[in-house]
Structure 1
Amino acid sequence: MPNFNNFVATDWRSGKDRIYFFFKDTNTYSRFDLGDHRVPEGYPEAIKESTWPGFHENAKHLRFGFTTTDVGNSDGSDDFTWLFYYRDETPMVCKYDQDQDKAVAHYRVENSIWAPLLPYFDRIVAGTWWQLTGKKFLFRFLLNDGHYLSFDFLKNQLTREEITATSMPGLERFKHRIITAAQNDRTFADSYYYIFLNRGQFLIYNIQQNRLHSGPHAMNDDAWPGLFRD
């Protein structure tokens, strides 16, 4: 069974929405299709050049990742996964083109559009596009010290706040247990943020309402069909 204390989840928006799970102990990954609500047959699969071209060599050192649309798309593509990792001791980010399904660039974080994150890099466990009305490019990053970052991409402004009953209602009880997280960008409803905890549990957080929707729930095959295959 995959190790659910050492994995990274990240969303994918090109084509059918999905969540990818990277299992670092075994250097394997699974694809959870949100529309079908299951992992297709054939997973988990090895992370290699043919499955994650241009990124496979760095997957074992992945820390967090998330999707953007219309950010950094000078080459004409819309959807990118940004995969943050360490190369030796250097914080790096891979720009992965979802439409071409390959890595198109690697940057030192300090030289990238995500440079403001650098002072907090080793504390970030998850990030996502925090889509709110009137806030086109707002991102939120969860830290392992009970705080979160809000990054206004257009204004290049970064703020750090404590996770409390006021700032992120319902999450305060779990703020020191977060392993990773990924967004379900639901088309005709509020977006859900799946926040994965240690002890084999997860939460469902409503982004637009900024509150805990439900949880904790058990991580099992009923909640995530097909994810627990060997």
Structure 2
Amino acid sequence: MQIFFSNGTYTRFDVATGKVDEGYPKPINDETWPGLAPYAGDIVAACTWPGDKLQIFLKDGRYIRYDVAKDRADPGYPRPITDESWPGLAPDARQIAATLNWPGDKLQIFLKDGRYIRYDVAKDRADPGYPQPVDDSSWPGLAAYKRLFGCMVNLENKKAVIFLTDGRFIVYDIAADRIDPGYPKSL
């Protein structure tokens, strides 16, 4: 699993061992991530996408589609997030703080202001009625951390790891819909 950092670096984390791979973090450059070098410090979130793609969101409201199989950014990117490219996301494009792939072909897009948007990947549009606040009815236990969300990773639809911008992390039980006991913990 790849984790992007706001300082223009990334790390590779081995889920099976629970450790960062040897030699990381590394800089995001055209050798490690072809096509991303000019945007390395602007990456705010990334998510997996059908067709062996990554969607990489930038702080200025644009996104880059990255072809994992070809190991390069697709030509013509970055592009602005508009109602044509990301229906329902355009008004909040510059507010994206984190994304989390979710069961049922959903993508949870967390915003800097403590709200989130549920995006339907199969229908390629935001679900009606979003954005909604991150509170204890929508995300039990996460309301206190809603303005600290950094990178988020779904671990095989069982657990989600939520890295906070203050150096802590949370493990969220997807099936139980709650934070695991004892979290957050320091990195």
Q: Is the structural similarity TM-score above 0.5?
A: yes
CA shift, 1:24, in A, is 3.2
Q: How does 1:75-86 map to 2 (within 5 A)?
A: 78-86=51-59
Q: 1:126·1:182 contact (CA, 8 Å) conserved in 2? A: no
2:65 is aligned, of 68, 89, 95, to 95
Name stretches of at least 5 consecutive residues in structure 2 with no aligned partner. none
Q: 1:182 is matched with which residue: 133, 146, 153? A: 153
1:18-167 pair list within 5 angstroms: 18=1, 20-25=2-7, 27-68=8-49, 70=50, 78-86=51-59, 89=60, 91-105=61-75, 106=77, 107-110=79-82, 113-132=85-104, 137-153=105-121, 154=123, 156-158=125-127, 159-167=130-138
What are the within-5 Å matches in structure 2 for residues 209-220 of structure 1?
209-214=176-181, 215-219=183-187
Runs of 5+ unmatched residues, structure 1: 1-17, 71-77, 220-230
SS in 1 for 2:23: coil
**1:133-154: CA deviations, max 9, x gaps?**
xxxx222111222221112241
Taking structure 2 as the reference length, the TM-score comes to 0.85
Identical residues among aligned pairs (%) = 28
State the SS of the aligned residue for 1:193.
strand
Q: Name the amino acid aligned to 1:92.
A: R
C-alpha distance in 1 between matches for 2:92 and 2:18: 34
Q: Deviations over 1:100-144 (max 9, x none)?
A: 221114122227632421211222211122113xxxx22211122
How far does the alpha carbon of each residue in 1:5-62 deviate from its partner, in whole angstroms, 9 at most, with x for none? xxxxxxxxxxxxx1x233333x322111112322222222222111100112111111
The residue type paired with residue 123 of structure 1 is Q
Distance 1:112 1:191 in 2: 32
Task: Give 2:147's aligned amino acid.
Answer: H
Q: Which residue of 2 aligns with 1:201?
A: 168
Aligned with 1:48: secondary structure? coil
TM-score of the superposed pair, with normalisation by structure 1: 0.71
CA contact (8 A) 1:67 1:128 kept: no
- Does the 8 Å contact 2:95/2:111 carry over to 1? yes
Aligned-residue Cα RMSD (Å) equals 2.1
CA contact 2:44–2:57 (8 Å) conserved in 1: yes
Q: Residue by residue, what CA displacement relative to the aligned partner does 1:159-208 show, whole Å, maximum 9, x if unpaired?
A: 11112221111112222322332222x2xxx4322112233211111234
State whether residues 93 and 109 of structure 1, in contact with CA within 8 Å, keep that contact through their aligned partners in structure 2. yes
Verify the 8 A CA contact 1:83 1:94 in the aligned structure 2. yes
SS in 1 for 2:89: helix
Q: Is the 8 A contact 2:46 2:57 kept in 1?
A: yes
Q: How far 1:155 moved relative to its partner? A: 6.6
